[in-house]
Amino acid sequence: MNAFRFPPWWRGVAGHLDAVRMRPDVQTFTDAIVGFWSLLFPTECAVCGRLLISLCPECLSAIRQATVRPVRVERGAPALPPALGELESSTGLGDPLPVTAGGHYRSALARLVLAYKNHHRTDVGRPLQAALAGALHSAVEGLRQGGETAVILLVPVPAKGVSLRRRGYDPLGLLLDGLVRRGELPADCLPARLVGHRGVTGRLASALAGRGGPQHQKGLGSAQRRANVRFTMSLRRGRRVIPGAVCLVVDDVLTTGATIAEVTRVLRLAGAEVTGAVVVAATEPPSRAE
């Protein structure tokens, strides 16, 4: 590929522009413009902090590498429910619910997720959407190969009212919305939250309600987290889930699996068939973490 070459006369023009650009009055003016621009648009890389770009090419490439191949992560999350509803018990029998992640929650991917979730960097959601899409396609393909032919409902973990008010946006909902708009969901999958009030999926969507949010989970051990999340959700009064509806629970970050367990519990109690979960990224068990 030939590199683009500037024409010979450009050197003179560029020199002149440089001279203009370096004038103190012009500097003040451009600083003001940049300042104003940064008010309107994020101007540093969400991962490494490089200025004037929302995600630099190096970090974007690191994110792509970290999410190029979805991974199965259920072995690292001790609070996940059993794979099959009828085995639901605390005896630890049976395999855990299968969980597919876009990548491991570490390095660049962890910083990007944090920036997106907690620092209002909704402008960098696109690579996270891609990671979630990859994980969704992988999980659904697995189910189809296992003979599942039904429409699969994608049930996002509901945003807690407290978090919504604090952040002002629903990070997971935005990711799913984006995938719907771009037509990037796997075939025959419906995002439950997004269908509105028509039919089963709409009911299912609005059915999950947090019951006065549990305390913040940061810093809690896995047993505490489990206790903290258990029984915090319920079906809203008057809502139903069609028995046998095939569901995948969707969340942004998998840590212990307690939140996914709680959503699964409510859905199964209502007669849905929860066959797995999909997350953007999964933390690693302490022993394997870097």
Residues contributing to the site for Zn ion (CB under 5 A): 45, 47-48, 50, 56, 59
Backbone angles phi, psi at 108, to 5 degrees: -60, -40
**47 or 132: whose CB is closer to Zn ion?**
47
Whose Cβ is closer to Zn ion: residue 59's or residue 258's? 59
Among residues 240, 260, 258, 238, the alpha carbon closest in space to that of 250 is found at: 260
Q: How many residues does the structure list for the chain? A: 290
Kindly state the tokens that stand for 210: 């947090």
Q: How far is the CB of 113 from Zn ion (least distance, A)?
A: 14
Q: How far is the CB of 207 from Zn ion (least distance, A)?
A: 40
3-class state of residue 234 by DSSP:
strand
Nearer to Zn ion, 53 or 174 (CB): 53
Helix axes 57-66, 125-145, angle to 10 degrees: 20
CB 117 within 8 A of CB 252: yes
* Nearest-approach distance from CB 199 to Zn ion, in angstroms: 44
Taking the least distance from each CB to Zn ion, the nearer of 44 and 177 is 44
Residue 133 beta carbon to Zn ion: minimum distance, rounded to whole angstroms: 22
Shortest distance in whole angstroms from residue 168 CB to Zn ion? 25
Give the DSSP H/E element, type plus range, for residue 103: strand 99-104
Closer residue to Zn ion in complex, CB, 56/282: 56
Q: How far apart are CA 235 and CA 211, in angstroms?
A: 10
- Helix count and strand count (H, E) for the chain: 10, 8
